[in-house]
């Protein structure tokens, strides 16, 4: 096991590359961000980052080419599959549970009670289509929730009221924390205000070889929100270029990494968007994920008792 700062950076880069390969954000043969760029982002000595890349090369994950850069190895997907498997992840969870005093079968039974049950009806409230559709997608895919998007401006409509009255959980953004909190209290429904990962644009997407990532959105307000998020997070604005779905998208280079929000894709329809399409990275911050599982577990447990 590689120790110290180099070991820490090896773990960071290994996990980023593994996640990016898993989502299709990068592919075998792609050139990664340079050692100097990664050192700048990670606030590390370039020599330490270079040593970390050499460790990953011995693992078969990357290939270092003299005077050219660091590339994803052609068989990196096979190397990735042998690095972090569901069995290893579950082994870590069960080991931690036993060390905290649970018997393995007891812990598994409790876990099953907490996370499995009826698909909880969840209403996602936000101001912009790009927000509600993106959040609803993640709630469905990562948490198994029956997530329905609802714009805040429509929450007082007849359809909006029916959705909210039938909800098991309301999810919203920090901007609407107080307003939606009052509504949730009146309905007797749990509410979660989503917190977004601060490293959203400095994780998997930072692996690209210094090229800007292009994002296509539907709502001009969402473009402004992304730019503010970049500023607040201290990220490089030059690394992300945001376009409206109504813009002339032909300006996006054909080989540029490009992400299209679900709302923008719905608006564009079958129209062509240039660029190399990449899937979204996960939005929710760790504290938000933890709180969401706590709420899901509590709701499922109360249903089971009832």
For residues 180 and 213, membership in a common domain is answered with: no
CB 287 within 8 A of CB 195: yes
Global pTM reads: 0.73
For residues 215 and 253, membership in a common domain is answered with: yes
Considering the domain boundaries, does residue 202 fall inside one?
no
Helices 129-143 and 286-305: crossing angle in degrees, nearest 10, is 60
Give the pLDDT confidence score for residue 118 in this predicted structure: 64
Considering the domain boundaries, does residue 260 fall inside one?
yes
For residues 159 and 18, membership in a common domain is answered with: no
Considering the domain boundaries, does residue 72 fall inside one?
yes
Considering the domain boundaries, does residue 191 fall inside one?
yes
Give the pLDDT confidence score for residue 194 in this predicted structure: 93
For residues 25 and 140, membership in a common domain is answered with: no
DSSP label at 84?
Answer: S
Domain count, the chain: 3
Considering the domain boundaries, does residue 15 fall inside one?
yes
Give the pLDDT confidence score for residue 6 in this predicted structure: 82
Where does a domain end: 66, 83, 100? 83
Considering the domain boundaries, does residue 110 fall inside one?
no
Considering the domain boundaries, does residue 257 fall inside one?
yes
Give the pLDDT confidence of 61-115 residue by residue, as tens digits: 889 998 888 998 877 555 555 455 567 778 888 898 999 999 999 988 888 877 7
Q: Which residues contact 92 (CB under 8 A, 6 or more apart)?
A: none
**CATH code, 121:** 3.40.50.1980
**Which of these, 236, 239, 279, lies nearest to 259 by C-alpha position?**
279
Give the pLDDT confidence score for residue 151 in this predicted structure: 96
For residues 186 and 293, membership in a common domain is answered with: yes
The range of the structural domain enclosing residue 188 comes to: 117-197+285-305
Give the pLDDT confidence score for residue 267 in this predicted structure: 92
Helices 104-115 and 286-305: crossing angle in degrees, nearest 10, is 90
For residues 135 and 189, membership in a common domain is answered with: yes
Q: Buried b vs exposed e over 96-113: b needs ≥16 C-beta within 10 Å? A: ebeeeebeeeebeeeeee
**Which of these, 282, 262, 283, lies nearest to 273 by C-alpha position?**
262
CA distance 112 to 131: 31
For residues 292 and 160, membership in a common domain is answered with: yes
For residues 232 and 266, membership in a common domain is answered with: yes
CA distance 23 to 46: 27
Give the pLDDT confidence score for residue 119 in this predicted structure: 79
**CATH code, 44:** 1.10.10.10
CA distances from residue 129 to 82, 117, 126, 138, 267 in whole angstroms, order as listed: 39, 29, 8, 14, 11
For residues 192 and 289, membership in a common domain is answered with: yes
The fraction of the chain above a pLDDT of 90, given in percent, is 40
CA distance 78 to 151: 43
**Which of these, 152, 175, 174, lies nearest to 163 by C-alpha position?**
152
Compute φ and ψ for 103, nearest 5 degrees: -80, 145
Where does a domain end: 57, 83, 109? 83
Give the pLDDT confidence score for residue 117 in this predicted structure: 59
Q: Which two tokens stand for residue 290?
A: 């933890």
For residues 133 and 169, membership in a common domain is answered with: yes
CA distance 156 to 179: 13
For residues 174 and 238, membership in a common domain is answered with: no
For residues 175 and 227, membership in a common domain is answered with: no
Give the pLDDT confidence score for residue 85 in this predicted structure: 57
Give the pLDDT confidence score for residue 258 in this predicted structure: 86
Considering the domain boundaries, does residue 109 fall inside one?
no
Positions in the chain whose pLDDT score sits under 50: 1-2, 82, 209
> To which residue do tokens 């096991």 refer?
1
Give the pLDDT confidence of 136-169 residue by residue, as tens digits: 999 998 898 999 999 999 999 999 999 999 999 9
CA distance 130 to 70: 34
């Amino acid at each position: 096991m590689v120790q110290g700062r180099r070991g820490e950076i090896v773990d960071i880069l290994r996990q980023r590359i593994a996640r990016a390969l898993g989502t299709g954000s990068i592919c075998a043969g792609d050139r990664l961000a340079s050692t100097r760029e990664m050192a700048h982002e990670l606030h590390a000595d370039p020599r330490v980052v270079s040593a970390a890349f050499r460790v990953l090369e011995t693992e078969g994950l990357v290939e270092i080419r003299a005077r050219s850069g660091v590339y994803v190895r052609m068989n990196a997907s096979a190397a990735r599959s042998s690095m972090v498997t569901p069995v290893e992840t579950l082994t870590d969870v069960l080991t931690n549970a036993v060390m905290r005093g649970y018997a393995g079968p007891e812990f598994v039974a409790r876990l099953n009670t907490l996370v499995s049950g009826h698909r909880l009806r969840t209403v996602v409230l936000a101001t912009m289509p790009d927000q509600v559709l993106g959040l609803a997608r993640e709630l469905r895919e990562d948490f198994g929730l029956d997530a329905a998007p609802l714009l805040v401006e429509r929450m007082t409509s007849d359809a909006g009221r029916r959705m909210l009255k039938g909800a098991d959980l309301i999810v919203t953004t920090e901007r609407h924390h107080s307003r939606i909190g009052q509504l949730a209290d009146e309905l007797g429904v749990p509410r979660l205000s989503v917190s977004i990962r601060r490293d959203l644009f400095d994780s998997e997407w930072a692996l690209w070889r210094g090229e800007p990532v292009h994002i296509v959105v539907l709502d001009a307000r969402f473009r402004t929100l992304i730019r503010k998020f970049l500023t607040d997070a201290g990220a490089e604005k030059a690394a992300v270029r945001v376009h409206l779905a109504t813009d002339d998208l032909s300006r996006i280079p054909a080989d540029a990494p490009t992400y299209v929000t679900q709302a923008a894709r719905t608006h564009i329809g079958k129209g062509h968007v240039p660029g190399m399409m990449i899937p979204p990275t996960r939005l929710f911050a760790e504290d938000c994920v933890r709180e969401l599982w706590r709420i899901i577990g509590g709701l499922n447990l109360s249903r089971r008792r009832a």
